[in-house]
Structures are given as structure tokens and as C-alpha cells.
Amino acid sequence: MPPNRFSRGPGPAQEPIYETHQHAPKRCPYPKCGELGRRKRTRTRTVRHLAHKRLAFWKVLTGVYAAACTCFLDLLKNRFSS
């Protein structure tokens, strides 16, 4: 009986596919006021991607930002003052 398309029967092992996706601009807007914040560091994580009959992973590079606007500084001051 021939294997159907859902079987994982005998056959050569396939190498996983790795793709790199980057989204880490130098500056990014703060959501509340829209003022640009600077990138402090980058983080990399591996995410499993859906691919047809293959293992596929994305290496996602994202940025971590810190705002320097007055609304963000007021938020920090109020959060840590009590």
C-alpha cells in the first residue's frame, strides 16, 4: 500500500529551514504620544513556522525601545513614588 500524504513513513530526514526576519529600526514611536524613542538593545528568538511537510523556523530579530518623552517619565515617576 503506498503511503498517503499524511504519513510520516520511512524516507530521508529533511533538514529544517531557517529564515531570518528583522524588524529593529533605530527609532520607534512611543504608543501614547508618538515621540520617537531610541533602541536600547535587540532580542532574537526562534519561532516555528508552518511549512508544507517540512520543519521551518524563523529567527526573529526585534528591538527593545525606551522612550524619553515627558508622559513616559511622568508614568515612571507615579509608578515608583508610592
The tens-digit pLDDT sequence of the chain (82 residues) is 455 555 455 556 678 888 998 888 888 888 788 888 888 899 999 999 887 777 889 999 998 888 778 887 787 788 877 6
What phi and psi, each to the nearest 5 degrees, are found at residue 18? -115, 125
DSSP string for 11-24: SPPPPPEEEEEEE-
Q: Domain locations in the chain? A: 17-81
Determine how β-strand 27-29 pairs with β-strand 36-51: antiparallel
As a whole number of Å, the CA-based R_g of the chain is 22
pLDDT of residue 44: 93
> Residue 31 — left, alpha, or beta (φ > 0 → left; ψ -120 to 50 → alpha)?
alpha
- pLDDT of res. 1: 46
